[in-house]
């Protein structure tokens, strides 16, 4: 053998023992300079190995994004052979799948980098692709891939059988799952894989009703885990979760609670430590996938009330972590808010209520955790109803789901005059919230699209309701309703059919919102001009000392100046392309989800009807997904005077709409709307709101809080007569007068006054 070739092979043989100080970049560039024909192929193999070692080392240090970047760089390196790129694609897909991130990218890199037919270890690519398809819930495709791969081997690799068994588990093929997993277990000589396979056998037995077998297998899996060599830190937590699920299915609630608590404390630390290094999209995806796993603990019910209350708060706090929460110290502080802290922030005769949605025996269920300041108990767990039971509740010959998603004013009026619905929602909680002056509540699921604070329930008619994105927000509670000096941005009267082509040209334009709209609706966005919105922002100027008012506002301009103001009022069209409560089914908890929901909601700005004709400009649709990339921590109050600004796809974190995007960006308090609002009623309500907030007196004799101003504005709106019907014809003085000449109020129905919800007003 050629001396230099032998030398390179020797160097490659010892790379596995290289230290963390290895200059991988230098080693790679050195090998790429090889010019000897006999050595180039060997050098290519060496480059692939260095890329792989580099990626693995970064993973060990929890530098996941850096590892992903290295793999992506390797896949773009033209020096590498196709089969070597396929090896790296398999490793990169493992990162995406193992970290429950971006399965789309796993599928894309695998599709673009395949092994040649005669590659000895082609099965690695086939197994990883099938795993990815299974995580994507494309089970039939995964099975076809696996069946074809298994059939090509007289003795198939155990990894193929293990993945096929896992796929059968998701399809509830219990016998087939156990058979494949058992064969894989017998063939496997890797201790680190044996305990994983055995734990899945245990889950398959539990799903088939063989509870004792399941318990024996999960016990054995734990013993194997103790013998494993340097397992990943979170592997024990995964086993604990599986153990807890199996124990609960076997009826051993005490054992399940013990395991869930062990799992929860480990998982909480894992989630907290991993959030800091993630991009915003990775955080959305990561939490969309971790959330269902931790939520399984709610099935414990009253067995573990204290832990479940902490978990409920943690879920909402984690969902509010934005891109500006960049350090582990900041993240830990936000996620450390627990039941004890919430109790400390409650006053006498106040209660905090965390609503939760979770899965239980194949059905979605709701419950509430009630936190009281004086109670010796940390919290009380209150079971409520199934998703089917509440969404199919009858409202005037329609289900609640149909009535909520309907644009009909009649349906909205029926919902918010229904005493039976109010009783359905609140009666189970009455033993724990009776004689309460104030209820601070964080909704979940369907309750996020329902203004439960306005339902007519006589037992709570004297109770004040405060809607929160998380009861953990009470940790930021302030003792005064007075606001700081206001500097306001007022936007209204926009023209959606013109665009200043001489305006700001962006180096990197963003037209993702319009592309998403086109994909969903099969046509471009179109909005009618709203003349009333100009009058709306004009009238606000009477109640605010410092303001900038714009009748034209491009997307680029709004993004650049949003954070310069502590009050931002946006009177324009809002949109939500998926105003729905999906009829979802319970699927595998380990399936992977990519969260695209924030692209489905947003606001229309100047030129929204024509901006896509100018590729050098943004598309004049600012989506919730784009908003959450902004830093709005200095913004105290955002008013979205736009239809559907609080709506979106409903999940167990509530609707993913503008409201969630603004909260992720750091905005503190938000006034939003739950359905398309009457233009005249909105203008009047907004005028009354700002007047009360500016000059009204609160219950303590000082300035009105936003919550008090909201209630007074709604009360005034419900009294106005016909002289206010043609709002644009009235001058400012007429708008501000308090004497009404009509005997018949025209806006007394809930359709007009009930869509407005205030979120996170903690200045009280």
Residues sharing a CB contact under 8 Å with residue 557, sequence separation 6 or more, in sequence order: 503, 504, 550
Contact present, 484 and 544 (Cβ < 8 Å)? no
pLDDT in tens, 111-156: 999 999 888 889 999 999 999 998 888 899 999 999 999 998 888 9
Residues sharing a CB contact under 8 Å with residue 66, sequence separation 6 or more, in sequence order: 58
What is the distance between the alpha carbons of residues 415 and 271, in angstroms, rounded to a whole number? 39
pLDDT higher than threshold 90 for residue 464: yes
Residue 564, number of CB atoms within 10 A of its CB: 12
**Which class is 337-476 in CATH?**
alpha beta
pLDDT in tens, 323-380: 888 888 889 999 999 999 999 999 999 999 999 999 888 889 999 999 999 777 779 9
pLDDT at 406: 85
* pTM as predicted: 0.84
- CATH architecture of the domain with range 81-188: Alpha Horseshoe (1.25)
655, β-bridge pairs: 650
Residues sharing a CB contact under 8 Å with residue 393, sequence separation 6 or more, in sequence order: 399, 400, 421, 424
Q: Is 257 helix (H, G, I), strand (E, B) or coil?
A: helix
The domain made up of 487-578+596-678 is a member of CATH 2.60.120? no
Mean pLDDT of the 631-652 span = 71
pLDDT higher than threshold 80 for residue 17: no
Contact present, 134 and 170 (Cβ < 8 Å)? yes
Dihedral sign for Cα atoms in the order 90, 92, 97, 102: negative
> Both tokens of residue 251?
């009826």
Contact present, 461 and 753 (Cβ < 8 Å)? no
Mean pLDDT of the 271-298 span = 84
3-state helix, strand, coil in the chain (%, to 5): 55, 10, 35
pLDDT at 356: 95
Residues sharing a CB contact under 8 Å with residue 486, sequence separation 6 or more, in sequence order: 544, 545, 546, 547, 566, 567
547, β-bridge pairs: 488
| Averaged confidence pLDDT in the chain | 85
| Domain ranges (residues) in the chain | 1-80, 81-188, 337-476, 487-578+596-678
């Amino acid at each position: 053998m050629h001396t230099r070739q032998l030398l390179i092979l020797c160097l490659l043989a010892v790379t596995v023992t290289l230290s963390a100080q290895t200059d991988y970049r230098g080693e790679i560039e050195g090998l790429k300079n090889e010019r000897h024909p006999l050595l180039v192929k060997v050098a290519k193999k060496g480059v692939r190995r260095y890329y792989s070692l580099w990626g693995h080392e970064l993973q060990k240090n929890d530098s996941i994004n850096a590892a992903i970047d290295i793999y992506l760089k390797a896949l773009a390196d033209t020096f590498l052979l196709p089969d070597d790129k396929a090896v790296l694609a398999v490793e990169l897909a493992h990162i995406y799948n193992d970290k429950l991130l971006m399965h789309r990218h796993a599928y894309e890199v695998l599709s673009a980098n395949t092994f040649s037919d005669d590659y000895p270890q082609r099965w690695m690519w086939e197994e990883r692709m099938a795993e990815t398809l299974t995580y994507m819930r494309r089970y039939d495709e995964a099975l076809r891939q696996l069946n074809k791969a298994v059939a090509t081997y007289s003795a198939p690799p155990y990894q193929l059988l293990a993945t096929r068994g896992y796929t059968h588990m998701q399809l509830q093929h219990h016998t087939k799952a156990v058979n494949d997993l058992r064969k894989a277990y017998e063939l496997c000589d890797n201790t680190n894989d044996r305990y994983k396979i055995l734990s899945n056998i245990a889950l398959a037995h539990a799903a088939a009703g063989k509870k004792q077998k399941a318990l024996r297998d999960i016990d054995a899996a734990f013993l194997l885990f103790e013998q494993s060599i340097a397992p990943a830190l979170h592997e024990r937590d995964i086993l604990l979760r599986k153990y807890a699920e199996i124990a609960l299915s076997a009826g051993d609630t005490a054992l399940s609670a013990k395991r869930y608590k062990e799992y929860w404390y480990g998982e909480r630390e894992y989630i907290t430590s991993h959030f800091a290094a993630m991009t915003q999209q990775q955080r959305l995806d990561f939490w969309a996938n971790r959330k269902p796993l931790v939520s399984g603990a709610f099935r414990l019910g009253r067995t573990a009330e204290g832990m479940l209350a902490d978990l409920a708060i943690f879920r909402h706090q984690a969902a509010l972590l934005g891109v500006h929460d960049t350090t582990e110290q900041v993240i830990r502080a936000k996620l450390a808010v627990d039941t004890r802290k919430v109790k400390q922030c409650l006053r006498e005769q106040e209660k905090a209520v965390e609503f939760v949605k979770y899965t239980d025996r194949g059905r979605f269920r709701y419950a509430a955790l009630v936190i009281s300041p004086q109670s010796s108990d940390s919290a009380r767990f209150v079971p409520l109803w199934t998703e089917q039971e509440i969404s199919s509740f009858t409202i005037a010959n329609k289900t609640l789901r149909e009535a909520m998603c309907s644009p009909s004013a009649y349906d909205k009026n029926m919902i918010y005059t229904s005493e039976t619905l109010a009783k359905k929602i609140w009666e189970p909680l009455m033993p724990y919230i009776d004689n309460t002056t104030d209820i601070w509540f964080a909704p979940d699921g369907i309750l996020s699209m329902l203004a439960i604070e306005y339902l007519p329930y006589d037992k709570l008619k004297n109770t004040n309701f405060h809607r929160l994105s998380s009861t953990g927000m009470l940790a930021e509670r302030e003792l005064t309703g007075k606001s700081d000096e206001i500097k306001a941005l007022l936007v209204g009267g926009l023209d959606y059919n013109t665009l200043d082509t001489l305006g700001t040209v962006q180096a990197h334009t963003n037209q993702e919102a319009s592309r998403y709209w086109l994909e969903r609706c099969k046509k471009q966005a179109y909005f009618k001009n709203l003349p009333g919105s100009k009058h709306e922002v004009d009238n606000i100027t009477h109640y605010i000392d410092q303001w900038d008012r714009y009748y034209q506002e491009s997307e680029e301009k709004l993004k650049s100046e949003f954070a310069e103001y502590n009050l931002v009022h946006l009177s324009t069209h809002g949109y939500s392309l998926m105003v729905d409560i999906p009829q979802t089914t319970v699927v595998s908890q380990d399936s992977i989800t990519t969260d695209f929901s924030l692209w489905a909601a947003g606001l229309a700005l100047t030129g929204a009807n024509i901006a896509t004709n100018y590729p050098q400009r943004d598309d004049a649709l600012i989506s919730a997904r784009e908003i959450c990339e902004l830093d709005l921590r200095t913004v105290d109050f955002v008013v979205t005077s736009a239809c559907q600004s609080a709506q979106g796809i409903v999940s167990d974190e509530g609707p993913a709409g503008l409201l969630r995007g603004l909260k992720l960006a750091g905005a503190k308090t938000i006034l939003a709307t739950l359905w398309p609002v009457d233009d005249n009623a909105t203008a009047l309500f907004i005028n009354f709101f700002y007047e009360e907030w500016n000059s009204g007196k609160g219950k303590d004799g000082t300035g009105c809080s936003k919550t008090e101003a909201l209630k007074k504005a709604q009360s005034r709106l419900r009294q106005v007569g016909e002289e206010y019907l043609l709002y644009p014809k009235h001058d400012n003085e007429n708008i501000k007068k308090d004497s009404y000449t009509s005997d018949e109020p025209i806006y007394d129905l809930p359709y007009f006054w009930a869509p407005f919800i205030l979120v996170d007003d903690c200045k009280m």
